[in-house]
Structure 1
């Protein structure tokens, strides 16, 4: 997750803290609520308005009860105003309080029974949907629930059918594959994408603008590049290593990239963000990479998230290091392959120094947080940089073969699922044949309370 992310020194100038980024982290840091249902599929139609910086939409949510019976469905709706909730043609009673929408079903949903409700809404997203009318750009950032009503917990995975109404003539990207694009008249077009591999809702999104477009093929995966103010040659040069990154991460994961297309888009303003099937980076960052190829670690970080974060996801935000520490470490390991051991060690040294500053300031914490409801910048440094540093230490301790075998088996075993640090520990113990409880107790888990 890009918001508030602190990585290595070469990325620092592209990742300056900004207010909406911190707010985004906090929005996603709310404690998870127990759910009596499992979302299976979203079908949404979204219409952003660039001039008013607002959005209206309707989403159908297909779900199944996970308890014997429930008549209450609780959804996230961060700042969105609910207009109507229906099941079929029947209007349902609902309550919108705080960041949640509570819907009462007229008859209880029974365990395993598929039901579907539709929610109509409108709102003015604070940061989850970014509007740049001067550039004719609109794109999503965290949090998804500022433009799509749903469940934003990382352990909730669902497929998605997303339709977005946009000004005519724009290039766009969304999750999964493009189903179609058609004119609606009056200067509007409907773009529709389908994400068939279930993904957490925080990875949903789209981006649109008057982009230049280029493409390449990295083995079996089509690579698509979008950016305004760049030529096709610029885009191909900027993302020249993307195909190699995908192949490298496939080898490390033991799992192929979960899709046929991977898109990277340069947008007006972002500190970098992964989505299912694409990544957003800033136009400024792209110009930096054109000037210095060794600035591409952020490109590798977002690409690594297609496996560690999207395909294998932390079960809740207290385990966030399993997303971000992993993406940081895997990006550095790619840079090692691409530019040599010294480049990797330079990044390791940056992690170590940041960790030592945390310790000196009394801000160090275990990688598994007791809560993640008000994370500070130092907390994020624990997750991103200490997390990556701990993976480096584990690699040095276990040796190349055991470490990479363990990472590969962990990723294979848990693809399409949510994980905890115990899952990772078990995989590394099986690969190495060693008891790693002391290592994980020292670096990963909170200390047991004194008796």
Structure 2
């Protein structure tokens, strides 16, 4: 068996090296910040926006290519001068007026509108609008996990609505027509997919947890109910901070119940559905989803997969950390129930021939089974690694990994190196079997 495993590893070495190192192709520019002004029309399910993209030329830049979804681009200007542009397959290709030499800074200003089919959800009956994952559907951007930039966001809404957004809240402004301009500014560079906001005719509850201002929003739940169903938020943030070896970053953490979502993490903000909120009121131990989204404030938002092919580093990690929190808060049985769920899903994947290495060759059109591999198998592999290394070594390695790559994008080999450093030995056989290939059936 050992000889067969060695031969298998040797045959796969070139492939494994290529897959482990895979990340997005290098770009000729690096985005520094986005200044975005949005005016959503909730009743018409449309938006208008303007974004100024500030960038640093890593190489000489003649054209700038951004993700723009299905947005309608009205104009692109540079220093007040109109630029030529074209849109193809969700990409916006801009020809600059003059090339930007390597090491210099530049910016372009884009005016646009749209009626997004996804990425931005409208619920007119609730006077509600909220973003979900696909940032390029509501603002032109480099919508890739390895590109980090600061966000300065303004959202103009009718009076009477409450709003939450990524970044530090700035004082709102009342405009001449009575509408309110809500504003946020991020203090650190973030991947664009964690930019976001939610706004609606919300009820609100707040609570202070040490230095973190907690804020809870919902149309359907009362402030008292919000305090009850989010009672464990502070404990979750404390637990994840301890395991990460890093305090929560930011002055506030906000949780909003929206009309419908499977759950969405954003920088400093998490969205869950109203139905989920009712479920927590019915069963106070039904906290896995809110724990998962809170875990992403470290694993996903701060330590981010360099490309979606390494998505398990975001989602498998958040699933595993959710189970670790349940173990802390509810006991060993709660943890083992999560593990059994992952194992059962993995067995089902294998039975239908849908098991896969955790690292994908591409993530262009993931299926539900592919997502199960990233989320559930990814968590299960972390559970197995915990057993392989033991408590002290595993948690030391995870803490060092999180600290080392805070604010950076990673591939699976980065995680492997951190855990090997903690273990003081090679973990290549484990990673070859469970991360870089589909792995063998247990038993």
TM-score normalised to structure 1 length: 0.91
**Which of 355, 360, 366 is the equivalent residue of 2:357?**
366
Partner Cα distance (2:350, 2:122) in 1: 40
How many corresponding residue pairs? 417
Larger relative contact order, structure 1 or 2 (CA cutoff 8 Å, min sep 6):
1
Partner Cα distance (1:435, 1:428) in 2: 9
Report which stretch shifted further, 101-110 or 303-312.
Answer: 101-110
Residue of structure 1 equivalent to 2:62? 71
Residue of structure 2 equivalent to 1:298? 289
- 1:182-207: CA deviations, max 9, x gaps? 22243421101111211100001110
**Which of 375, 378, 382 is the equivalent residue of 1:384?**
375
How far is the alpha carbon of 1:219 from its aligned partner? 1.6
2:252 is equivalent to residue 261 of structure 1? yes
2:188 is equivalent to residue 197 of structure 1? yes
Structure whose alpha-carbon radius of gyration is higher:
2
Residues 73-112 of structure 1: matches in 2 within 5 Å?
73-112=64-103
Residue of structure 2 equivalent to 1:175? 166
Residues 46-57 of structure 1: matches in 2 within 5 Å?
46-57=38-49
Secondary structure of the residue that 2:426 maps to in structure 1?
A: coil
* Contact in 1 for aligned 2:43/2:127 (Cα 8 Å): no
Partner Cα distance (1:261, 1:214) in 2: 13
How far is the alpha carbon of 1:142 from its aligned partner? 2.1
2:266 is equivalent to residue 275 of structure 1? yes
Residue of structure 2 equivalent to 1:325? 316
Partner Cα distance (1:71, 1:443) in 2: 43
* Contact in 1 for aligned 2:155/2:183 (Cα 8 Å): yes
Residues 358-437 of structure 1: matches in 2 within 5 Å?
358-437=349-428
Partner Cα distance (2:26, 2:63) in 1: 12
- 1:375-429: CA deviations, max 9, x gaps? 1111100000000000000001100000000000000000000001101000001
How far is the alpha carbon of 1:218 from its aligned partner? 1.7
Residue of structure 2 equivalent to 1:247? 238
- 1:169-190: CA deviations, max 9, x gaps? 1010011111121222434211
Runs of 4+ in 1 over 3 A off after TM superposition: 31-34
Residue of structure 2 equivalent to 1:210? 201
Residue of structure 2 equivalent to 1:15? none
Residue of structure 2 equivalent to 1:44? 36
Secondary structure of the residue that 1:197 maps to in structure 2?
A: coil
How far is the alpha carbon of 1:236 from its aligned partner? 0.8
Structure 1 residue runs of 5 or longer lacking an equivalent are: 1-30
Partner Cα distance (2:93, 2:367) in 1: 30
* Contact in 2 for aligned 1:44/1:59 (Cα 8 Å): yes
Secondary structure of the residue that 2:74 maps to in structure 1?
A: strand
Partner Cα distance (1:39, 1:82) in 2: 19
Secondary structure of the residue that 1:412 maps to in structure 2?
A: helix
Partner Cα distance (1:270, 1:438) in 2: 39
TM-score normalised to structure 2 length: 0.93
2:226 is equivalent to residue 231 of structure 1? no
Partner Cα distance (1:285, 1:259) in 2: 26
Q: Superposition RMSD on alpha carbons, in Å?
A: 1.3
* Contact in 1 for aligned 2:292/2:322 (Cα 8 Å): yes
Secondary structure of the residue that 2:189 maps to in structure 1?
A: strand
Partner Cα distance (1:387, 1:210) in 2: 38
Partner Cα distance (1:437, 1:301) in 2: 28
How far is the alpha carbon of 1:32 from its aligned partner? 4.8
